[in-house]
Amino acid sequence: MGQIVIFDTTLRDGAQGEHMSLSLEDKLRIVTRLDEFRVDYIEGGWPGSNPKDSEFFARARNLHLTHAKLTAFGSTRRAGVGAKDDDGLGLLLEAQTPVVTIFGKSWDLHVREALRTTLKENLDMIRSSVAFLKTEGREVVYDAEHFFDGYRADPKYALETLAAAAEAGADWLALCDTNGGFLPWEIAEIVDHVRSLGHGRIGIHVHNDAGTAVANTLAAVRSGATQVQGTINGVGERCGNVDLCPVIAGAALKLGAQMNCEPNLDQLSALSAYVYDVANLAPVDGQPYVGRSAFAHKGGVHVSAVMRNEATYEHIDPSRVGNLRRILISELAGRSNLQAAAREMGIALPEGTPARVIQRVKDLESEGYAFEGADASLELLLRRELGTWKPRFELKGFRVTVDQDGGGAARADATIRVAVGDREEHTAAHGDGPVHALDNALRKALLPFYPEITSIHLTDYRVRVLDTSSATAGQVRVVIESADEFGSWATVGVSANILEASWEALADSIDYGLARQTGDVLVPGRAPPETAPA
């Protein structure tokens, strides 16, 4: 397996996904992180399509990238307009990127119905657009939009569109499964045929509408595609683009492909978490390779086996991609589960500790706690039982009020008193709801002591009524998920008072998050402290 180059389109194609919204500063931050990871190409956006993308390219010129090539995206010239007179191509040049990516139509249906022009004119649009950009000194990536659908409908014409781009000097021909409906063996067969024609270097760009995007991409690589286009975490329109995280990991660890980013493979989980964090999206626990649950084990048989030999239930060593093994603890847990979980957290349990702690876990679970989905709460429980956890703040009291002044929206206000060392802070804040107000007040109180708290974000808040027969007087379980630039964690609180349960989960989430920032707990994608915490 030879050299594969990675073409990231998170900021362009990925930004078209539902719930995906990036500010200009967000885009610039992601570019820098992708460059540090040594992604080869970064598609920044479509100049002229909106003011933000135009401003992005102006600002990006000052980034001083060390490896990645920035690329601007656009289309072939309009029908009936010469390439040098086409406004869209002019804007691509104004972006001043070393690489330009343009898409053209490969499917005769689109030529007739979308462009409303002739097949011959479309070929000239492709040829003249690529030639014009090459004369201006740009590296040109030609995206053959809907190529696989076009090949299925009229293979002769689809191949003629590739030939037009290649003859005009395109540096790359990216074959696109724009509708995301093809299967791996179909992709492999077509890529193999295209490669045999000798048109030049082949790229692959697929979507995930049939749930086969990663398999399709790896199949294309095996058939000779040497450029992979996709997005971090698979964000993108409809069901998303191919997720570059499992593609990069799979190409390196399963296919033996060489990539410029391969030396940084152990930063892959951190890169995934970073993009989730900047985009304000909740991480997907079950995401292959990089998800929080990707190497999580609960069943006693699994845990016992994996602690003797990781290969029994893990297809790779999690550290290869910067992830961690997690041993899940519940009321079904045994001594080996707890000892294994503690070891993965970097905690050394003294002799005789497991029985006591297991009983504590079972007692709490009988009250409604659930630790298998609240890994941070479990770690805090272990460290508190051992007497090695020093809380970063102490609650002295809080008050929350909700006012409804008639027809307007309800307003929540919270006041809080917390002690940090020998100092006490008394602050107030409002929010959209009582828990939001409490969160804002706590952050406001802690910010002077812990500026790093700004890196901690609440990503999910879930409430479950544990005793439905008691109606609104029943016990509730609150689970809070939080994230920073390195990943996510979860904490749990239980009480008959929803605010008390929320406070327990919230306080633990912030306390644990601050420990992550200072390296006092093990964090995927970041080197552990020199001495693992006891």
Same domain, 407 and 370: no
* 499 CB-side CA count, 13 A: 16
- What are the structure tokens assigned to 422, written together? 């020998």
pLDDT of residue 523: 80
CB 325 within 8 A of CB 346: no
- Domain ranges, residue 335: 296-386
- Please state the φ and ψ torsions of residue 362, each to the nearest 5 degrees: -65, -40
Answer with the one of 242, 258, 280 that is the final residue of a domain: 242
Q: Is 50 strand, coil or helix?
A: coil
Same domain, 403 and 502: yes
The overall longest dimension of the chain from CA atoms, in Å, is 82
Q: 438: how many CB neighbours lie within 10 A of its CB?
A: 25
pLDDT tens by residue, the chain, 534 residues: 789 999 999 999 999 999 898 999 999 999 999 999 999 999 999 998 888 888 999 999 999 899 999 999 999 999 999 999 999 999 999 999 999 999 999 999 999 998 899 999 999 999 999 999 999 999 999 999 999 999 999 999 999 999 999 999 999 999 999 999 999 999 999 999 999 999 999 999 999 999 999 999 999 999 999 999 999 999 999 999 999 999 999 999 999 999 999 999 999 998 998 898 888 888 898 999 999 889 877 766 666 677 677 777 789 999 999 988 777 765 555 666 777 778 878 888 777 666 777 788 778 888 888 887 788 998 999 898 888 899 999 999 999 998 877 667 778 999 999 999 999 999 999 988 899 999 999 999 999 999 999 999 988 888 888 865 555 556 899 999 998 888 889 999 999 999 999 999 999 999 999 999 888 888 865 554 444 343
Determine the distance from the C-alpha atom of residue 514 to the mean position of all C-alpha atoms in its chain, rounded to a whole number.
22
Same domain, 74 and 104: yes
Domain presence at residue 92: yes
Same domain, 197 and 346: no
pLDDT of residue 50: 83
User: Which CATH number is 138's domain given?
Assistant: 3.20.20.70
Domain presence at residue 93: yes
Between CA 43 and CA 100 the distance in angstroms is: 9
Residue linked to tokens 């029908």? 79
Structural domain total, the chain = 3
Same domain, 348 and 211: no
Same domain, 86 and 179: yes
Between CA 249 and CA 253 the distance in angstroms is: 6
Between CA 17 and CA 234 the distance in angstroms is: 9
Q: Is 287 strand, coil or helix?
A: coil
Between CA 143 and CA 13 the distance in angstroms is: 12
Q: Give me the amino acid identity at 365.
A: E
Between CA 231 and CA 213 the distance in angstroms is: 11
Same domain, 379 and 469: no
pLDDT of residue 92: 96
Domain presence at residue 439: yes
376 contact partners, CB below 8 Å, separation of at least 6: 489, 490, 491, 508, 509, 512
Q: Is the pTM of this model over 0.85?
A: no
Q: 156: how many CB neighbours lie within 10 A of its CB?
A: 8
Q: How many helices (H) and strands (E) does the chain have?
A: 17, 16
Between CA 134 and CA 369 the distance in angstroms is: 63
Exposed / middle / buried, residue 3 (Cβ in 10 Å: 0-12, 13-18, 19+): exposed
Q: Give me the amino acid identity at 213.
A: A
